[in-house]
A and B are shown apart, each in its own frame.
Chain A
Amino acid sequence: MQFGIFTVGDVTPDPTTGRTPTEHERIMAMVTIALKAEEVGLDVFATGEHHNPPFVPSSPTTMLGWIAARTERLLLSTATTLITTNDPVKIAEDFAMLQHLAGGRVDLMMGRGNTGPVYPWFGQDIRQGIPLAIENYALLHKLWREGVVDWEGRFRTPLQGFTSTPRPLDGVPPFVWHGSIRSPEIAEQAAFYGDGFFANNIFWPKEHFQRLISLYRERYAHYGHGSAEQAYVGLGGQVFMRKNSQDAVREFRPYFDNAPVYGHGPSLEEFTEQTPLTVGSPQEVIEKTLTFRESFGDYQRQLFLMDHAGLPLKTVLEQLDLLGEEVIPVLREEFAKGRPAGVPGGPTHAARVAAAERAAGDDDRAASAAFGTRA
């Protein structure tokens, strides 16, 4: 199982001081947080993609390339890459390049985006969100798997005799997650391809995501990629910790109350009861996170949102120390207990290369056997 963090990249005033970081400060804070994630033993850093203030991460592969050059083990991912408004050809090229430079530590999460004007800014129509996600990903999937592509669709210039370069590292495309908050079509898409499904469950009650995830698992099995339990599920989470639970609540409350997404709405107490948000001691975070397995089954990747709502960098780094030292080691141990043998761990390039080699070996043996019968 993989543990990590994901960042939205918001530039938000610190409500306790009124100070807003500059974009440069925020960008450098994001990469400092990524390096810290590796230092404290997390597995994954994922960045969002946005094209409007107050968000800074418009160019994820640039940022992840910088991080890749300064880390050794950390997996680099996105949360999410906009499959609707980016050209799938450019996604294929950018992430294949990043995968080479990062030595196989890259995967990515497809998302549709939730900012209406981004569609027209990039020449698209938001009412076509799902069809764009489906067609663009179908092309991306093909570009990474077929050397020479002839292709025609609804939303993009046709391609004749096009080869996306560089070809994927070791001939194996990066693992893809499909992120969704509400669309069963996206769960179906993830299942069809045998890709991962990431439910960013941090703002909504669990019943909603139980329906989406069970649909994904059931359809994953339907399409013959394995059993429902073997499907690749990722989940979000959101925590703020101090040794003493009361200190955590007191310190986090102004950030919660003024947070861009849910501030000025329900109380911190209501929100913690209804969503995965945990504000308290490391032990409380451990307990809440362990309930995710009861709700959604054994899963592969857990990402926490740690650095939003104007929290100062120093505080975020302290949070990561607590996460790495006190929470993740216990979660690794507890999630390993009773995990069925057939349930895969988090996806890695090495495992995918090995699987591809096994599959190729099987094909060779099948081919030899076929020749044998003919001879």
Chain B
Amino acid sequence: MTTHGLVVVTAGLGRPSATRLLADRLTEATGRHLAEAGREVEPTVIELRELATDIAGHLVTGFPAPALRRALDAVGNADGLIAVSPVFAASYSGLFKSFFDLLDPTVLTGKPVLIAATGGTPRHSLALEYALRPLFVYLHATVVPTGVFAAADDWGSGASAGTDTLPARIDRAAAQLAALLPAAARPAAPEERVVPFEQQLAALRPD
């Protein structure tokens, strides 16, 4: 049985938080789809609220405190990512963006990422498409086609014409993420190797 390092980044600020609730539903559904395929998932949840001062500190000093270092490393080493933000002022929250600003811009390359967001009304739902999706496309991630937006009303609504229920959308997105997670365990990150100096010099010789 293959296990997957799935990291869940959630930027909800409340306790309890609808953003965390959505993250948990997505994690559970992804695990279910993997289990059906005989695969297992090992989710690691990163609550950005707990790292808020470390994130601000890193922005100012240029280096991460130990807990933030572990969180950034976990994202870097993950096989796949679920990223969930509340919508603030028509976009992801500043805390959510600040965390991804601090991530090495190469570590998400090629990694499957499921994007999701919460908001007061469904009128914010396109924030997924004009804010979260471009952010992860910029980072060269493979973004799952279905993004999941949960407005307050979604937690108490049934299906209506042309719209799936929230659980159905969660299920579809999770199935897509599960399908994108690599079947084989990801090879360990290569040891940081330096280019031998002769090669660095040779690259500079004029033609």
Contacts and interface: CB of A to CB of B under 8 A. Distances in A.
A205 B201 CA distance: 31
Contact of A192 (B59, B197, B203): B197
Given A185-B194, A185-B195, A261 B200 contact: no
Contacts of A262: 60-61
Interface in B33-70: 53, 56-57, 59-63, 65-66, 69
B194 A215 contact: yes
Given A203-B62, A219-B194, A261-B61, A153 B204 contact: yes
Nearest to A262: B61
Interface in B56-102: 56-57, 59-63, 65-66, 69
Contacts of B201: 134-135, 138
B206 interface: yes
Interface string A304-340: 0000000000000000000000000000000000000
Contacts of B200: 130-131, 134, 185, 188-189
A265 B194 contact: no
B204 A134 contact: yes
Contacts of B61: 203, 261-262, 265-266, 271
Interface in A74-125: none
Nearest to B69: A205
B129 to A, nearest CB: 32
B190 interface: no
B196 interface: yes
Interface size class of B (residues with CB under 8 A): 20 to 34
B203 A131 contact: yes
A292 interface: no
Contact of A135 (B53, B69, B196, B204): B204
B206 A154 contact: yes
Contact of A184 (B53, B63, B194, B198): B194
Contacts of B59: 265
A211 interface: yes
Interface string A183-202: 01101110110000000000
Contacts of A131: 200, 203-204
Interface string A268-301: 0011001100000000000000000000000000
Nearest to A191: B197
A215 B193 CA distance: 9
B206 A153 contact: yes
Nearest to A193: B197
B118 to A, nearest CB: 30
A264 B58 CA distance: 11
A152 interface: yes
Contacts of A175: none
> Dominant SS at the A interface?
helix
Given A189-B197, A205-B63, A154 B204 contact: yes
Given A154-B206, A265-B60, A266-B57, A188 B197 contact: yes
A208 interface: yes
B59, B62, B63: residue with the most chain A Cβ atoms closer than 10 Å = B63
Contacts of B195: 185, 188
Contacts of A219: 194
Contacts of A189: 197, 200
A274 B204 contact: no
A211 B192 contact: yes
A204 interface: yes
Nearest to B203: A131
A131 B201 CA distance: 8
A271 B201 CA distance: 38
B194 A203 contact: no
Interface in A150-192: 152-154, 184-185, 187-189, 191-192
Given A138-B201, A264-B60, A270 B65 contact: yes
Nearest to B53: A266
A205 B59 CA distance: 15
Interface in B177-207: 192, 194-198, 200-201, 203-204, 206
**Which 8 A-B pairs have CB atoms at the shortest separation, nearest pair first?**
A265-B60, A192-B197, A266-B57, A184-B194, A188-B194, A204-B63, A262-B61, A265-B57
12 contacts: A154-B204, A184-B194, A185-B194, A189-B200, A191-B197, A203-B63, A205-B69, A215-B194, A263-B60, A265-B56, A266-B60, A270-B65
Interface of A: 130-131, 134-135, 138, 152-154, 184-185, 187-189, 191-192, 203-205, 208, 211, 215, 219, 223, 261-266, 270-271, 274-275
Given A134-B201, A264-B60, 19 more contacts: A131-B203, A131-B204, A134-B204, A135-B204, A152-B206, A185-B194, A185-B195, A188-B195, A188-B196, A188-B197, A191-B197, A205-B66, A215-B194, A223-B197, A261-B61, A262-B61, A265-B59, A265-B60, A271-B61
